[in-house]
Amino acid sequence: MNTFKKLKQFYWPHKKYLFTSLFFLFFVVAITVVYPIVLQLTIDEVVLQERYSLIPYIAAGFFFIMLFKGVASFFHQYMGDLFGITTVYKLREALYEKLQVLSFKYYDNARTGDLMSRKTTDVEGFRNFISFGISDFIEITMLILFSLGVMFYYSLPLALITMAAMPFLTVVVYKFDKRVHPAFRGIRKSFGRLNTRVQENISGMNTVKSLAKEDFEVGRFSASNDNYRQNYLSTSGIWAKYFPVMEFIGNICVVLLLAYGGYLVINGDLSLGALTAFFSLVWYIMGPLMNLGFVINMFSQAKASGERLLEILEAKEDVTEIEGAIDTPIAGHVTFKDVTLTYTEDDDKALKHVTFDAPQGKVIGLSGATGSGKTSITQLIPRFYEPEKGEVLVDGRPVENYKLKTLRRHIGFVLQESFLFSTTIRENIRYGNPELPEERIIDAAKRAQAHDFIMGMPKGYDTMLGERGMGLSGGQKQRIAIARAICINPSILVLDDATSAVDMETEFKIQQALKEVMRGRTTFIIAHRISSLKHADEILVLEHGEIVERGTHEELVNQHGPYERIYNIQYQDREQIIETAT
């Protein structure tokens, strides 16, 4: 119950919907039980006593009661649904806001698929219980109680016969539910595996075809396909085993009613109408009982879903603004003082005692193998992560002293793989500044060497980019990402391996674009190629999170350290080629 208590803020403010729904539910159930009574009255009071003058009253009365029931059940259902969807609305809003502010650290350990399933399936699971579960449970209880009440009123022995069947049915329903729900989960999991299998096959089609592994793939697919079929069939097997039994128990009850009831009627201990009424009433008890399992399952699912939602809602926001954070223009002077960073406790330190100073407008090159800590340095400046020890200063102030928005607005990122959103090129370029006028967008695109190819497209700046910017080459995406960074006019620019995934020519174009953009901004360049680093004002060479060398290109090539080694590997070719060429 704790889960529901913690999520109370999302549904309790709309409790009026729930109560209205339950209010109308009472009438719905009460009137349902009226139907067999009307049948009984018609037979006993009208037909058998031949009081046919009553018929119009009974008919009209019945019709109006049903009309009222119609209205009541409309409001019952509609209000119940409203209760659920309003809760979903609020819940989604809160989840979205939360996910916007959670830090990189959270996303490092999260999977998109998992988060998505929480935001869709789990929200839905919670809603089902809120919308239907609660009132279904109340409906079942009321229906059984009311029907039993009427039964006892009509005939004690017949009511007892019906009640005797209830434990049998309950046991079967219990057994059925215990087996069927895990089986359903089995189907879903198996379907998920089949889906993954297909997804992989289609995404890896080039590899499959190149290695001529089509038959092998068909074999793997049919294994998963068969597994899905088997899972489905074993579930329907449970169904085939228990469901007819449940119906059979109800039917046996009918047979007993017929036998004993018929006997009672013949002996004159029961009216014919009452016996007829029993045949309807018995299903008002058996039917809901069969569904009870589903309602209880809905509850336990909602509880599990609620817990998964709470995991998101209660996730720690480890990067937060301090009280009195300031909003002031940033010039771009970056200083690291003895900074140490650990991502997770089990990991080795990502940065160890890193100290450097990057004066405003200077270019800092970062060199080192994959995983040496280059990217980590740049991610500490906008506070995507918090250092474990040491201080990161911008313009002489600790980064925590700035408002997050202020800090990040002044830092532009161009990453190796540029993520573009599903919208027009124009909206993508002004992503960081949605109010930017057209001239500024075009200006940015021109400076990023993107204007020409954009204008070459039939729809120009209105060209729609699909998910992950499909339809553009790597170099084109990269230049749009550069234009996007220019649009926020950052004081600090981070180029994280911005040109490695493109061919030489494109790289040349992009480098030209970047040169222009870097002017007057403090720039951090992460690159493997010496040619991209050598003009930097200072180059930091990293190894396992430590700065092992620093200096200008000219200084470093003569230091006999790792930088020189890399330089030699990259440039030995060149010397030889130049020799042969001349």
Partner 1 sequence: MAKDTPEENRHLNRFYYTVDHAVEKPFNWQQMWRLLGYLKPYAKTYLPGAVIAMLLSTAVRLIVPILIGKVAFDIVIANENMTMLIYMVIGVAVLYLLSYIGNVFRIKWVNILGQNVIYDLRQHLFSHIQRLSHRFFDTRSGGSIIVRIMNDTNSLQELFTNGIINLLMDVVTLTGIVVILLVLSPKLALAIMVILPIMFYISTKLRRNIRRSWQDVRIQQSRLNSHLNESIQGIRITQSFSQEKANEEYFDGVNTDNFKSWRTATKKSAMFGPFVELSNALGTVILISYGAYLILLGEANGGIAIGTFVSFGFYVGMFWEPISRLGQMYNQLLMAMSASERIFEFLDEQPNVVDKVDGEDLTGMKGQIEFDRVEFSYDEERTALHEISLDIKAGQTVALVGHTGSGKSTIANLISRFYDPTKGAVKIDGYDLRDVRLNSLRRGISVVLQDTFIFSGNIMENIRFGRPDATNEEVIEASKVVGADDFIQRLANGYETEVEERGNILSAGERQLLSFARALLADPRILILDEATASIDTETEVKIQEALQRLLKGRTAIIIAHRLSTIRESDNIFVLENGEILENGSHDELMKRHGEYFELVKSQFEMLDAM
Residues 479, 450: Cα–Cα separation, whole Å: 6
Shortest distance (Å) from residue 426 CB to partner 1: 10
Whichever of 138 and 256 has its CB closer to partner 1, that residue is 256
Whichever of 179 and 355 has its CB closer to partner 1, that residue is 179
Shortest distance (Å) from residue 567 CB to partner 1: 9
Shortest distance (Å) from residue 338 CB to partner 1: 25
Shortest distance (Å) from residue 145 CB to partner 1: 21
Hey, what long-range contacts does 563-569 have (CB within 8 A, 24 or more apart)? Answer: 563/367, 563/539, 566/367, 566/530, 567/530
Whichever of 60 and 160 has its CB closer to partner 1, that residue is 60
Strand-by-strand arrangement of the 397-398 sheet:
351-358, 334-341, 389-394, 397-398
Residues 116, 121: Cα–Cα separation, whole Å: 8
What amino acid occupies position 73? S
Shortest distance (Å) from residue 2 CB to partner 1: 27
- Which among 29, 61, 28, 68 is positioned nearest to 42, based on CA atoms? 61
Shortest distance (Å) from residue 83 CB to partner 1: 11
Whichever of 422 and 559 has its CB closer to partner 1, that residue is 422
Whichever of 344 and 370 has its CB closer to partner 1, that residue is 370
| First-to-last C-alpha distance (Å) of the chain | 82
Q: Give the number of C-alpha atoms closer than 13 A to the C-alpha of residue 564, restricted to the C-beta side.
A: 9
Whichever of 4 and 191 has its CB closer to partner 1, that residue is 191
Whichever of 213 and 447 has its CB closer to partner 1, that residue is 213
Whichever of 94 and 389 has its CB closer to partner 1, that residue is 94
Shortest distance (Å) from residue 504 CB to partner 1: 6
How many residues in total does the chain contain?
582
Handedness of CA 507, 513, 516, 520 (dihedral sign): negative
* DSSP letter string, 363-385: EEEEE-STTSSHHHHHHHTTTSS
Residue 158's region, left for phi above 0, alpha for psi from -120 to 50, else beta, is alpha
Residues 555, 541: Cα–Cα separation, whole Å: 12
Shortest distance (Å) from residue 9 CB to partner 1: 17
360 exposure class (CB count in 10 Å sphere: 0-12, 13-18, 19+): middle
What phi, psi does 227 have (nearest 5°)?
Answer: -60, -40
